Structures are given as structure tokens and as C-alpha cells.
Structure 1
């Protein structure tokens, strides 16, 4: 997967003379030590990360962790003190004013927490605003604005004023305005945090729906770990201006790596986070013959297996004893045709209701081919597991 955005050793010190603070930080001093010694506030301390093209990349942390400072440095609303910000391999930090305007108009769009709509302009005029700044003709920008308002479900509100809309609808207008520029990269800074819980959930679902269609690269800033888990393909967690953990949602919950990160994961509903593919046991061929292929546990341990046809679709299940007999005789047993299978991306909360104590569940890919086995004990172990300190970044 290609990298759309890459940040290398980024620092932000809120002062016109950051040299001494940077020297202290690069020598291992902390944000608080710099502030105590120099009276200067450190926003970012040696942050490096890569955002893959098409990712929903979440930046999260507590208040003051540096997450919003990072977002504002990326489009240079805040000027970085040191480091690189590479957008498609071009360093934004080296751009002059004209080059930066081009980036903001065409390549990066931003959605703010408090909508930032023009109150005296109609909805469609708000959506057109970025295109107007770019110099797009009135006819073209009106057509594009109507198109994106239809995408976010606000076509019939196009000629209303912002104050006539609910909070969730105004946030959709902000999202439509960002989409209208057709920028490949969106930065969403606490975009849903001002919304009521129900509206916030609806907006999260709407963003996921749009992302499946548009496949933008989205950098989403949040302080809500549940929101990060729901939306994110990868999560970066910040503290005191530093990046302290980065990885997939599942890897962070399983291996937080520190007490600070573990505190975010304690209330996570693991049954809704993990899927069948993350828990399943891989299987290997035990016996093959004219009647199909018998697959059992990759480790060789006793356990139920599956008889498959020539395309590796399930014909039925076999017991541990039947697997041993087949190993000795080379003959395929008659399978039990009462079986259950689920796709690898099925959440454990949905798998659990299909479990029985004496029957394994087959895990299949999108084409229906068997890729693993799942048992009730594995589901319970994953749902009840606690993350271990000493994380691997996955």
C-alpha cells in the first residue's frame, strides 16, 4: 500500500526562537522539563508516522497530547519548528505561500469541530466556497456542490440557511464542502465531538458509508477511543506531544504497551472489535483423495476437522478420532453434514450466537473457501483477554 502522507521527526515549539528547546528535546528532555527551563510550550516532540493511501487514520490522546497541533501543522496553520511533512513525497514544510495555497485548495481539505460555516450564505454557497477561491466557474462549482450535497443526503436543503439546519446537518455541510474540492486527503479535527451522542453515531456511520465509496485518505483527530476503534484502520496515540503507540485497533487492544494506552482499552467491547479471522486456528491438509480433502489442525493437535471438495468448500465436519483414523488408513471418512461457517470478517458478537459446545465453526473467505476453524473456547478467550504490556507495533 502506498503512503499518501509521511511525517518525519516533526517538532513544534510555540516560540519564535525554538533552537534551544529543540536541542533539549533531541537530548531526551521532556515537554515539562523544557517548559520549566525555558518557559516555552512544546506541542510536538519528534513525531514520525506514515498514513497509507485510502486509510482512515486516527490520531488520539487526552487534552494537551498534541493531536490537534499535529493536524494544524500538517496544513501549516501552525508552522512546524523542525521535521518533514511529505504529501505524496513532496515536503509541505518547504512550500512558499503560493505552493501552500495550492495544497490547501486542491490536495488537503479540513473539517473542523465547530462547522465553520458562513452564517449569511446558503448551504450550497458554503459548499461552493472552496471552489470559488480556486477560481472555478459559477456553473461548474454549482454543479459540483449539488453533486456532493446529494452524496451526503442534503440535496433538498441546498438553498436553506445554516441556522435552519440541525447540528448534524451542519456538520454534513462542512463535510460536503471538504469533499467538493475533490482533495485526496481530508483532515478531520474533532469533527464529531460537538454533536449529541445519537447524531454523532449517525455521522460516524455516514462517514464509513462515504469512505467505502470515495476511498479518501482521512486523518481523523479524536479523544474518544471508541470512535477511533469504530472508524480507524490504524490508530496513533499521543501523550505529551509524543507518539506513544501506533498500530491496528486490534493490536493496540491486545498489546497496549503502557498503562497510559491500556487505560483507553479497558472498556472496549472486544466481541464487537475482533472478528473470526483474528481468532481462528489455521488448518492443514491431513489426507487428500478422489472424494475431497481432509483438513485438520496445523499444529497436529487432536481436534475437529473438515472435509472439503476440490474447490476447498466445506462438505462436512469430522471428529478428532476420524482424523487419526484417516492419517493411518489414508481413507477419507464420511463427514457430518451439520456444520456452520462464517466469513473471516464476521464480528465475534455475531459468531457467538452460532456456537455449540461440540461443534467447530468453519471460517471461510469471500469465495466460500475454508481458511480456518473456530471454537467456543477461542471466542471466550479473546473476549475476556487483557492486553499485555510490551507491545509489538503491528
Structure 2
């Protein structure tokens, strides 16, 4: 009372002071220490249940032992009991604000609980305590990914990889457009370790080829037993297998042409988009009318977040040209690449009929002969493509 308020600078938390503070419950308790040592061994051995039991035994001896709360949080995270893990980790960080591992366990639990903002704050505290800790940047990258901020995610993955090369493949997967953190996946723990490298770029062509094969070969096989009229349409034979000049049907318009939103008017002055025929994680497919040739086509529109990556645009255009060289009765034709920044479209032959998924919903199970009718043309096309 009666004292002047301290200047604003005095209110700032100094890292050295923070790290020099003794955590609550810091007095040594021999029994508690034994439980913690045993629990840490069990956790390292992949036995989180007994590690949790040891942590709880240590807390009975010393309820304010920050390390015991941290061990409990780590064990609960391994057991995928993320709600309880978050509470335990919060308690550990309240008792010891300099415990980097506790903030790591807190961020990990918060990510799985869908709390991207809180996870970012916990990761920020990790980075504040140890700017060279790569896991802080990795966890913050996952928080950015959950919010859909690709630029910040890539920047933090670059920082993590610069501090630990084992995260280089995380960065490679992200640059290739792969999702890294999925809170519903049972395998998220593997993300904290090194990942296998993503497939070589040329193998991504199989994504497009798979779409083409399932569109033509799979539906063609189903056409024989779903509907007689479909059989005539889907199992028609073009000229014999061979290699054709991609310039005959595939062109790349001038990139300087202004972009046209898919919802307005004619796309590229010729395609009238009618309806969205399907959506996926990487793209959506439109049923469209080619007004110049008066035929129905399929227009595949890349997801905006992928189309925004220049490297991916070049890669997909290259792969589309590769597919254009394949001439086979069970591979859908690609007619054109529309590179209209910020959009990227691929124009395919339109194949009418039901998808395999739709048929399975209706019939629940297909007889062996029907499965063979679907898969045999797919295998033939794959063999031809390779």
C-alpha cells in the first residue's frame, strides 16, 4: 500500500530468473525419487500403465512434485488418454514453469484434443525455454496445420529440420501436400520420430492414373453386370494399345491468361461447369460441357492449398502429360491442362455410370466373378502403364 507501481519493464519475465526458480515440491523425497526412477524406466520400455502407477505412487508421497505430474502426463499420452494427460501436464507446468518436457506433453495432448491455439502457446513456451529444441517447432507446425496455415507450418518444419535432420522427411511430406498430423490417427506417436521419405515425384503419377483406371477400367468391368447399356458405353474399345502424341489432345494454355473462377461463366472460354460430381482431399471433379465440341467432359480442379504451391503445379502438369502418352482402352483420356493461376484444372474424358463404392453400398458384397470383371481391366492397364 502506498508504493508506486513498478515500471512496465519490471513486469517482464526474465528467462534466467524463470529457469533459476526451484520447482514446487523440490525437496528430495527418497521414496518419491525411487518411484520416479522406476516409472521413467517403465515408460522408456513401452510400459505406460506401470509408469502411470509409479507416477501416482510418487504423487502420494509428494503431491506437489512437478516431475511426478510430468511423468503421469507422459504415460497418459502414451496410453492415448489425452484429456487426463492435458490436466496432468498443466499441473506439471504450474509447479515448474521451466519444465520443457511438461510443456511438450501439454502441447501433444492439446493437439489431440483439437486445441490448436493452446497447443501453439505451449509450443511457444518450449521454444522460449530452449530455442534449439526441434520438437517445439515441430509441435507448433502441427498446430498451424490444424488451422490450415500452410505457410507457417512449412516455416516451422524448416526450423525443426534445421535443428534435427530426422525431421527433413516431415518437411518433404508437407511440401508434397501430404497431411502430417491427424488427431484421429492411432499412429500419431510416430510423427515425433523420423519418417520414411515420401515416394519419388514420378510415382505421384499413379494418383492420376488410379483415377483414370477406376473411372474407365473399374466402371467398365462393372458395366457388364450392372446394366447392358453401360456395358456398351464403358467397355468400348478404342484403337489398339500404343503410344500417342500428347499434343493431339493435351495443350497447356498461356499461363498469363487471367484466372476464371469455377463458379462463373465459361472456364477457359469453352467449358461450362454443370455440377460437382465428386470431392476428395486433393481436388474436386466437375461434370462440364465442352461448348466447342459439344461433348461432356470431367474437369478436375486442384484444391486451392495445393494449387498455391508452384512446385506441385509443375509436378502435376508433368504427370498429366505423361498420362496423355498412354493409349489403352482401360485408361481414361486426358484432353487438356488448364493452368489458370491461381487455379489448375485437368480435363478428362467423362465416363458415365456408377462408382465401385456406390455399387458396394447397394449390393454390400460382390460375387467373385464381378470382382474379377472389375480388377482384371485395372491390372491390364497398370501392366501396360509400366
TM exceeds 0.5?
no
Larger strand share, 1 or 2? 1
TM-score, normalised to structure 1, is 0.28
The structure, 1 or 2, with the larger RCO (C-alpha pairs under 8 Å, 6+ apart) is: 1
Larger helix share, 1 or 2? 2
- Determine which structure has more spread, i.e. the larger CA radius of gyration: 2
